[in-house]
Structure 1
Amino acid sequence: MTLNEGGGLQLKELSERTGVPPASIKFYLREGLLPAGQAITATRARYSPQHASRLELIQALRRVVGLNIAQIRKLLKLADDGVPRLELLAAVQRTVLRLDEVGTEHGDIRTPAGDAVVRLRNWPDAPSDARNALNAHVALMDSLNIPVTTELLDAYSKALDTIADLDIAATTAPDDVNRLIMTAAVGMHMHSQLVLKLLAFAQASHAIRRYEDA
């Protein structure tokens, strides 16, 4: 982060601009989530608009997405280390959608169902946390004798391919890394919830049609 030459905000002004209490700002500074400002005196510092942007990101990740301090710190470190955008987005997706909690700890997983989806949609045949998570879930469904047919995978993946295209176009546009993480994380969280809610609505509607006469 860099400060504008000759400008900047003092902590009180930073708090007023972002709506984040001074105590919270000091906590984020101690935790390393927010870089130190430019020292004015031994007890005062000046902060830049980038500090405000980072604060808004931290608040969104905590309040909207529900991430904890450790998760936020890990994402911000990747951003500050300048990792490639694809790697950063993969980390955001893994964290926000909790892909590391669904059987992906054993490395790359391959299943016929996952390979079938790649062929059906002509997606890149490359390893990812998302692919591993799908394969782990399909394996779980198989163990519970819940059939996952090619027809089912084709219908689901076709609909979601269109949704994903819209999501990625919207969430990867910002050049500023804080805005990129904000848009991607909040977008992934809220859009995935929207898909689940729409699916629930559709299921309820089909059930009503089928059973209301009976």
Structure 2
Amino acid sequence: MQLKELSSRSGVSGASIKFYLREGLLAPGSTAASPRADYGPGHLRRLELIKTLRGVVGLGLAGIKEITGGIDDPGLGTVELMGRVQSIVLGLAEEAVPDHPLMAGLVGPGRWADASSRARNSLNLLLHRMDELGVPANPRVLAVYAAAVDQVAALDVGHAEQAASRDELAGTVAVGTHLYGELLLKMLAVAQASRAIRGPEG
């Protein structure tokens, strides 16, 4: 398909498509069979991803470029790509943060993988911050939270791994991280309210 049809089928203006081409978010079309560039299903998938990252997740150009660059990097494995998308959507900390004492109960044999990541940096940062504010995390509460979110993570990762392409994988992780994170917080608020209404015996 040529630019006009790509624009019509994707719902993205021709001017925007040309901008994405210039910025490297979208690969150039093929010119082998025609003097005018020809575009295929991969271009439609990429435009759908860009629309999702902008309209649903609310990312700017820099974040979108970092994600599409990761998708197009053959040296970046699936796990690393998922981590990159998650980090960009959540704004996770890049700098290493010393492990909080409570981290020992969360990572290691039989628990979460003991590996450095932006997610781990950010969790350590938050635990240290809670100490500084005088509201340290309760180890018992942390253990209950860890067990619950581990089950949610298993569902999320399983769903993402079914993606048919790296673009679809990135979109699934981005939307899941953004919307399901909000969903978990709202569900927790409803559950807490329900417990309070029912009382200690409920």
TM more than 0.5 = yes
- Give the ranges of 4+ consecutive aligned residues of structure 1 lying more than 6 Å apart after TM superposition: none
- Does residue 189 (structure 1) correspond to residue 178 (structure 2)? The answer is yes
Q: Deviations over 1:117-151 (max 9, x none)?
A: 22596111111111111111000000111031210
8 A contact 2:10–2:47 mirrored in 1: yes
- Of 41, 45, 53, 1:53 maps to 45
User: RMSD of the alignment, in Å?
Assistant: 1.8
Aligned residues: 197
- Of 133, 152, 159, 2:148 maps to 159
> What is the TM-score of this pair, normalised by structure 1?
0.86
> What is the TM-score of this pair, normalised by structure 2?
0.90
- Of 100, 103, 116, 1:127 maps to 116
Q: Which sections of structure 2, spanning at least 5 residues, go unmatched?
A: none
- Does residue 113 (structure 1) correspond to residue 75 (structure 2)? The answer is no
Q: Which sections of structure 1, spanning at least 5 residues, go unmatched?
A: 1-8
Equivalent runs, 1:74-153 vs 2, <5 Å: 74-82=66-74, 83-100=76-93, 104-105=94-95, 107-118=96-107, 122-153=111-142
Q: Deviations over 1:151-204 (max 9, x none)?
A: 011111111111111111111222411111111111221211111111121222
User: 1 CA distance for matches of 2:29 and 2:134?
Assistant: 57
- Does residue 12 (structure 1) correspond to residue 4 (structure 2)? The answer is yes
Change in 2 beyond 3 A, CA 1:121/1:68: farther
User: 2 CA distance for matches of 1:178 and 1:164?
Assistant: 20
| Secondary structure, aligned partner of 1:189 | helix
8 A contact 1:120–1:154 mirrored in 2: no
8 A contact 2:102–2:139 mirrored in 1: yes
8 A contact 1:114–1:131 mirrored in 2: no
User: 1 CA distance for matches of 2:122 and 2:2?
Assistant: 45
User: 2 CA distance for matches of 1:121 and 1:160?
Assistant: 15
Q: Residue type matched to 2:50 in 1?
A: I
User: 2 CA distance for matches of 1:109 and 1:90?
Assistant: 20
**Relative CO higher for 1 or 2, CA cutoff 8 Å, sep ≥ 6?**
2
User: 1 CA distance for matches of 2:110 and 2:197?
Assistant: 32
